[in-house]
Structure 1
Amino acid sequence: MKKNSHNNCCHSAKQDSSYDVVGSIATNVADGFTMVAVGDLLVTRPLTKGQHPGFDTIIKILHDADVTFGNIETNIFDIRSFKGSPQAEYGGAYVTSLPELGPDLKAMGFNIVSRANNHSLDWGVEGMRETSRVLDQNGIVHAGAGENLAQAGAARFLETARGRVALLSFASTFTPLSRAADPAGEAPGRPGLNALRLARSIVVTPDMLESLRLIRNALPGFRPGVEDPSRVELAGVTYKTGDKIGYTYEADPCDVAAIMRNVRRGKQFADFCIVTNHGHEPGNWSQEPPDYAQWFAHRLIDAGADAYVVHGPHQLRGIEIYKGRPIFYSLGNFIMDNLHTPAGADMFTAYGKDPRVDTDAEVTVEEMARGYETDPGLSDPIFYESIVTIIRFEQNQLAELRLYPIELGRSMRFANRGIPRVAPTPQGKAILDRLQTLSKPFGTRIAIAKDVGVIRPGPSSRR
């Protein structure tokens, strides 16, 4: 992690695993405590009363838990009376949902959701506030967005029969102007999301680095000086030498310190602490998490997290059990229903469409076909396959994870696509086989019994 050179915001950070206060880092829930976790909720309309084959089975799984978690990747408001507007910066699409989604999420079984992601401020502060109002109205606990950084970064709490649950939400993928800030001097705080800033560098071979150095030196305005021979700054991008070409990330030390403090605080006031991150890095094309991810996940567990859930890349990544706590490096998609999403003028322009001729749906289909930047299109089958996981604790130890493979109807027409059902046996086995392969580097063994993945941690994983 790079040194902090711009201020002293990190100087008081403590060792994450060393504190000893009332409500320490130990899990403290009643036997049989269960958590259901899913990935991204790109949902734009109420679904529980519709005709969606197999969805009832999924809803039953969501209801059979003390806490049911998902990432709400939309803004909820009635566009007919909405006072805000689509922002020039947006997270790839202007995702909106009807106000009826609030009670419908509750009817599905969700009682706690994360808010920090690249769509949090697609519709400005007005959209963020209206979404908070709808969730509050329906008794759904949410974290990750607020009127300033202190509020956005704070844990929020859910009371359950088996223990008090804290949720802390942040995003490593976000639009720059959506980042919340605290007051400073006379300047007020800024509404937005809780951000984990990452400095990305590109790793190249020594020969490539030398070529980049020659290009930089030849550019007008370059002024030579003392420099690190192992890195080059060119057009705002940092290049470094390494053994494998790819991307590397350094987490901002101030953001890390603030997140760890909020994890400690959340656990001190709760029996069980969920931490969640929305991050697309290194890209939606990658089945592997970014290089900083495992180091950072371990620190979160050491600070008091009982479960760490990542979402964002729209596909599954591996599962790790660290010190008896589950780490999901991506749970993929849970719902990808994009029916009620006005595209906004900027999005029409970005995809070469004319709002006087083309429809919002045609823009959305084009966006999904192209994907994000160099990522493959979101029409790839793996983006429509995921899992619902049930996490069970006994005697304050992780007893079992059950992994139900789901598919989101990729082959169905646009109006019916994106709603989950339990995957048929051959497809479900393929999903679980892929998850076995992705989890193996983390030392995780997944058994498959009756079309369900099962993880039972051994004593070694609890140390």
Structure 2
Amino acid sequence: MRRLAAAWALALLCTGAGAQQAGTPVSMVFVGDVMLDDTPGRVVRSGRDPFAHVAHWLRDADVRVANLESVVATTGTPEPDKPYTFRAHPRVLGPLARHFDAVGLANNHAGDHGPEALMQTLGLLDRHGIRHFGAGSDLTHAHAPLIIERNGLRIALLGYNEFFPRSFEADVDRPGIAWSEDAQVRHDIALARSRHGADLVIPVMHWGWEYEPLADSRQRALARLMIEAGADAVVGGHPHVTQDIEIVAGKPVFYSLGNFVFDGFTETAHRTGWLLRLELDREGVRRWRTRVVRMDREGLPRPHAASPGDCWVRGDAQPRPCTAP
């Protein structure tokens, strides 16, 4: 009887600990375009860390996610009709793995050096322990959610591209990225919950027109479609500038986080990005804040203390300026 009582006590203790863990919020950080070719790639080759100036913001989160705006490979052939093609050396995966847990690949540069380079990228990311979503060895894998579990909370990340060339799209027998067909997006969000057991779903989008400071009508319509389908937040990028933030049915939509690591830009707006921190529980996003970064001459992010960003708490009708840095 004493052994049985002790077992019951231990079971109750474990159950209580599990319930406490499941109720603990999960913090996630998202950043925009990370391009590690060209000057940022040379920074890594010299032994420096391109994320050094923002490392304190990154390590403070349970999960860190970036949009990887290049393949990482030693193979493949540049797409002949593209004015800009990016291919980073595998050495960049060291600092990337140090600071990020997962990367989105559904963008207009994932196919810059063809399917062979994309497949090598997937293998190298796996080898370095960097999880990925939005691209895969075929259509099914490209559309599969990445499930991240922290503190008993299962979070599904889905990635989609809306910017041409569409030739990078995965097919039933071809590697590539996930393209955002409306019906497929609805289906993927539903499957993330019903088949994969996700508590929360966050689509990460590559969309909109470059250098436009406001989201267009297509972005806004698709954001509403995703929220209505069950998304808990939407995080976007691609325009190379930050865009507006909208609260849709009580859920936040970040239309573009802008650039994060990217050289070759001179305009201040193109060198400014957001580091987005979400705090999540089973009801969705409980609060968030943006932190402003400014890329230096090498395309590396540095905190921009003069712009503390915006904050929001669940229930607020609109975001508000943060009062503390």
Which TM-score band applies after superposition, normalised by the shorter structure?
0.7 to 0.9
Using structure 2 for the length normalisation, give the TM-score: 0.83
8 Å contact from structure 2 (residues 36, 88) kept in 1: yes
CA distance in 2, matches of 1:158, 1:445: 27
Say whether 1:87 aligns with 2:13: no
Structure 2 SS opposite 1:85: coil
Shift of 1:398: 2.7
Pairs within 5 Å for 1:185-196: 189-196=173-180
CA distance in 2, matches of 1:261, 1:190: 21
Say whether 1:35 aligns with 2:19: no
Structure 2 SS opposite 1:316: coil
Say whether 1:116 aligns with 2:106: yes
The one-letter code of the counterpart of 1:105 is L
Structure 2 SS opposite 1:173: coil
The one-letter code of the counterpart of 2:93 is G
- C-alpha change, 1:51 and 1:57, in structure 2 (3 Å) is closer
| Per-residue deviation, residues 413-459 of structure 1 (Å, max 9, x unmatched) | xxxx211111142xx26xx4xx79xxxxx9623223123xxxxxxxx
Say whether 1:419 aligns with 2:306: no
8 Å contact from structure 1 (residues 119, 174) kept in 2: no
The one-letter code of the counterpart of 1:50 is R
CA distance in 1, matches of 2:149, 2:143: 20
The one-letter code of the counterpart of 1:193 is I
The one-letter code of the counterpart of 1:446 is R
| Per-residue deviation, residues 374-410 of structure 1 (Å, max 9, x unmatched) | xxxx42110101111111135635332121111101x
Pairs aligned (count):
294
Q: Which residue of 2 aligns with 1:324?
A: 250
Pairs within 5 Å for 1:211-226: none
CA distance in 2, matches of 1:178, 1:140: 22
Q: Which residue of 1 aligns with 2:286?
A: 399
- C-alpha change, 1:293 and 1:190, in structure 2 (3 Å) is same
8 Å contact from structure 1 (residues 89, 177) kept in 2: no
Say whether 1:381 aligns with 2:272: no
Q: 1:174 aligns with which of 153, 159, 164?
A: 164
Q: Which residue of 1 aligns with 2:8?
A: none
Shift of 1:262: 0.8
Say whether 1:101 aligns with 2:92: yes
Pairs within 5 Å for 1:19-418: 30-44=23-37, 45=41, 47=44, 50=48, 55-78=51-74, 82=75, 84-90=76-82, 92-108=83-99, 110-182=100-172, 189-196=173-180, 255-268=181-194, 269=196, 270-279=198-207, 281=208, 283-337=209-263, 378-394=265-281, 396-409=283-296, 412=297, 417-418=298-299
| Per-residue deviation, residues 213-265 of structure 1 (Å, max 9, x unmatched) | xxxxxxxxxxxxxxxxxxxxxxxxxxxxxxxxxxxxxxxxxx21111111111
Shift of 1:307: 2.1
Using structure 1 for the length normalisation, give the TM-score: 0.59
Which has the larger Rg?
Answer: 1
Structure 2 SS opposite 1:301: helix
CA distance in 2, matches of 1:58, 1:71: 16
8 Å contact from structure 1 (residues 320, 443) kept in 2: no
RMSD: 2.5
CA distance in 2, matches of 1:66, 1:396: 18
Relative contact order higher in (CA < 8 Å, ≥ 6 apart): 1
The one-letter code of the counterpart of 1:379 is T
CA distance in 2, matches of 1:103, 1:29: 32
% identical equivalent positions: 27
8 Å contact from structure 1 (residues 164, 272) kept in 2: yes
